[in-house]
Amino acid sequence: MCVDLIKLTIDGKDVEVPAGTSVLDAAESIGIHIPRLCYDPCLSSVGACRICVVEIAGMRNLPASCVTTVTPGMVVRSDTPAVMEARKTILELLVANHPMDCLTCEKMGDCRLAEYCYAYGVTKGSFKGEEHHYDLEESNPFIVRDLNKCIVCGKCIRACNEITGKDILDFAYRGFGTKVAPFGDTPYIESDCVFCGNCVSVCPTGALTEKQMRGKGRRWELKRVRTTCPFCGVGCNFDLNIMNGKIVGVTSTNGPVNGRALCVKGRFGWDYVHNPKRLTKPLIKKNGKFEEATWGEALGLIATRFKEIRDKHGADSFAALSSARCTNEENYLVQKFTRVVMGTNNVDHCART
């Protein structure tokens, strides 16, 4: 398949990219980072925040690079005085109505807004005016919503629509009163939200945070360990966030199967790991009571009883039901054991349709 390539220049560097590529992606392909708040490679581009503006020869204004498509011979500058001043002004407008409680914000260390304010030397808003005073919403067990920190970038709306497919969120009201909300501006807990948390994973500020992770450690203190979700057979990847040897939360990573998308179980259903009622050793019933045993004792007893049952009642008295939580390799071993060792084809799987 022939792909048309477009040649252009960005900050004095020649680049060749497929037709239809945005200026932002073209710059990224040669290692030039253009700041962005509303842009996400997994979502449609809307050019809402305008912080990704660049200077393009022949254009009178400063276009948003995330929604500007490359053209042959285009000459782009991402670091001119006009561009830098425009970005700084945009940041000043954003923080004019943004709480400056970074010291106690859960997103500190992973906040894109704070990162850019540091880079552009914005310490406070230069514009004075009315401020929002929304109540903190903690009505559901998974997500904390602080609309005072929302910059109305719309990423959570697009994530809900384009990743989860629920379309629960949208912009409500107009002008200064514009906010992101479910239909009728109801609380999350009263909406049709499935609490997958995909909106949380794309939020660039502290407007949406994981309730389970509040007060458990700063983002730079947490060790991240990539793993595979055990809840079903899809094989979604995510990062376990570890503090002092214990899991304190799950955050999205760029998994080959799921991207950054997760369901409510994958993102918030990990707390069973440290549940005090969780079994940590095999138990064998002796004299009517369960007693702790070694793995050798437990597996030996299972092997003995399986053999006794097969010899006494025949191979077809045995059946195996496998789980979607197991890997393909583990499921293969279950059916192999059932057929070869136990001598029966009585094998089923919970995910069979």
CA distance 272 to 223: 20
Banded model confidence at residue 95, pLDDT cuts 50, 70, 90: very high
- The whole-number pLDDT of residue 178 equals 95
Query: pLDDT at residue 1 above 60?
Result: no
Banded model confidence at residue 30, pLDDT cuts 50, 70, 90: very high
- The whole-number pLDDT of residue 131 equals 86
Query: pLDDT at residue 324 above 80?
Result: no
Mean pLDDT across 328-334: 91
Query: pLDDT at residue 217 above 70?
Result: yes
Query: pLDDT at residue 36 above 80?
Result: yes
Tens-place pLDDT, residues 196-209 = 999 999 999 999 99
The DSSP call for residue 133 is -
The long-range contacts involving 314-320, CB below 8 angstroms and separated by at least 24 positions, are 315/342, 315/343, 315/344, 316/344, 316/346, 318/342, 318/344, 318/346, 319/344, 319/346, 319/347, 319/348, 320/346, 320/347, 320/348
CA distance 116 to 122: 8
Say what percent of the chain tops pLDDT 70.
98
CA distance 247 to 216: 10
Query: pLDDT at residue 166 above 90?
Result: yes
Query: pLDDT at residue 308 above 80?
Result: yes
The DSSP call for residue 273 is G
Q: Quick check: helix, strand or coil at residue 330?
A: helix
* Residue ranges of domains in the chain: 5-79, 220-278, 314-349
CATH of 5-79, one of 3.20.20.70, 3.10.20.740, 3.40.640.10, 3.40.50.11540: 3.10.20.740
Mean pLDDT across 222-244: 92
Q: Directed axis angle between helix 112-119 and helix 81-96, to 10°?
A: 130
CA distance 67 to 114: 24
- The whole-number pLDDT of residue 302 equals 95
- The whole-number pLDDT of residue 130 equals 85
Q: Counting every residue, how long is the chain?
A: 353
Mean pLDDT across 345-350: 90
- The whole-number pLDDT of residue 182 equals 94
In angstroms, the Cα distances linking 209 to 96, 141, 142, 234, 260 are 22, 12, 9, 25, 16
For tokens 């906040």, the residue is: 111
Query: pLDDT at residue 123 above 90?
Result: no
CA distance 349 to 347: 7
Tens-place pLDDT, residues 233-243 = 788 999 999 99
Query: pLDDT at residue 353 above 60?
Result: no
Backbone phi and psi for residue 269, each to the nearest 5 degrees, phi listed first = -100, 35
Cβ proximity of 168 and 199 under 8 Å = no
- Listed in order, strand segments (DSSP E) in 52-167 are 55-56, 75-77, 143-145
In the chain, DSSP finds a helix count (H) and a strand count (E) of 8, 15
Structure tokens at 204: 């660039």
SS3 content of the chain, % helix, strand, coil (to 5): 30, 20, 50
- What is the model's pTM? 0.85
Query: pLDDT at residue 186 above 70?
Result: yes
CA distance 162 to 166: 8
Mean pLDDT across 301-316: 95
Q: Do domains 5-79 and 220-278 have the same CATH topology?
A: no
Pairing of strands 246-252, 237-243: antiparallel
Q: Quick check: helix, strand or coil at residue 77?
A: strand
Say what percent of the chain tops pLDDT 90.
84
For tokens 């955050």, the residue is: 251
- The whole-number pLDDT of residue 207 equals 96
- The whole-number pLDDT of residue 115 equals 95
Architecture per CATH, domain 220-278, reads as: Single Sheet (2.20)
Structure tokens at 191: 């909406």
Residue 349 CB neighbours (<10 A): 16
Four-point Cα dihedral 125, 126, 129, 133, nearest 10: 0
Q: Quick check: helix, strand or coil at residue 75?
A: strand
